[in-house]
Structure 1
């Protein structure tokens, strides 16, 4: 049974509620607590199949999705850890099967692992994320698979996932400013934290980097640790040519279909994943890569809604997209994708945005200053860190946009429908600014991740 079929309050969710009441929910970056807990559990992180460990400010989720699609196209069983989830906690854990697609963890299996980890911790001080990461290692060590894809939660050096001493490959995707209170206020400081997942002598793949300072830190760290390294634009690359993805590395050139995930930035993300899977020691044929490009799936990231309750509130014929990108770097690639859609079919663009108070809303909004018709700002359920829609609307105004606060996503969609006339081209609507908000939308729309 998958998480999407679980009761309103599943057994696993009940266990997590207990943990939330006992342990801090925030970040306290250290590896001491999780190492202690893993030792009590018998060090399950040392009993995993080859691990692809992925860090980065933006693109790590897409790289995770591409790596999964590539390995599954090869017929391999792949366990996948991602965070955060959108609708259900279960989404963080996908259990692999041979010659098939990994599935969101079964509720009872998840609940059992949570109970065992909580019992092993015996009430000692630890964060909820560290317990959930220990659950990852316990689940993935006990279920057979050919590979594990492990997405970093925050940073890298002190992230709870960074206890794997010999990854098959460490991947660092694009780095920009985000989580500055924890990681530093300059890209080179953030790069140093994310470079912390590199391990001496283990292969490293570096994704496309916008900032030379970040690339320098990453390449210097890989060199100092004697890691075989592949750098985007130097050792491998990807570009679009005549509607195709052209991938090239030292092994040769491949002419491939464009990725199913929309946006030009996904070409570089796909290239990094292809190189990473090869660096991890897995053989890939062009046929496998072609299949992966057409089957890759990553909910909540430039995802177009094709059905659902919320979609029915928008003007008939509207394009409604959701995306959880929430920092200036993400804003730029999402705005570029929207502009690309505009080139193919002109439509007025409306933004429906909610954000949490640790982000840079003006930096995010600035990317849309020349393309968005109007911004509606909305509250976010399920977090006490949401920005007041009035404050968020002011940030959008400061970035050069026309904006107004609304009480909910539903209200914003109804307002867009009221403004729209039948003579106009149906609008393009982007709902985003936070993965929390995207989770709210997918749940309310009746289309949670599967």
Structure 2
């Protein structure tokens, strides 16, 4: 039996912050005591915040580690370990690694990375090299002709808990203005106008032929196997109605206030990107996460492409422009995402929950991670 007491902390409970001590036994929280002197043998947290470990439903940042430059692939296990170090140092104790499931036709680099990322994370996990708890979030591009059999081949991966159904065809959702898509792609790839016109035409043709059929087929597989499904970049009322009809319980990165409001009306959880909040808006001009929060529509933040953004964004929700309490803000990166995917053993500090914990000190409004425990074991 292993016991630990973390004392002299501002302990973040589900509805309040209490100055006191936290007791842990065999990796589980067994009690919280308010006030009093530092118990004998306790670890002194010097008045810092003690919060639940963060739960992140969407990060594609592993792609930057496996392919640090276009066409340059890093050794898979090394990439997994360095990515995990960045995750845990950001206070994220439960990470949903977001793998893009695409085809050769539209994104050959991402397709080539998929197998490497899966293999590297699996080997690193099996060898005990990872400090965070990692699950799989498969991001399925539904305009791909072969996406359904490709998904079916992976549906029994033991760590697969979340699927998002994406349609990045220019002219709707993420890029309703095709001209903005061209500007974005030119900056990202340097492709010519002629090349981009050809890609655009091919994607729009594929969408017309495959999107609806594939969306429904994958949603049905997930319904039968108990995998949580998210829609992606909902823009219109019809997008949300379709998601609701298919049993989706998460609306990931809605691009308009209309879509976010309709999702909440239908009890679909709204996920927005933490970088959007930290930067003060969407980098491509879609719905601001701050506006979403101020309207009371935001349920969950996800780090998207910057792991360190997650806790920073949650603290920004407590500022004057949004004005949430600290427990409500931190719930967007702990209890709310955990509940969405059925991880009922974590996400808050209360007796009987797993001791996934983060020690935080605030410096000039910036939350700084000082220590991290997963299941009662210090990992950072």
TM-score (normalised: structure 1): 0.24
Of Structure 1 and Structure 2, which has the larger fraction of its residues in strand?
Answer: 2
Of Structure 1 and Structure 2, which has the larger fraction of its residues in helix?
Answer: 1
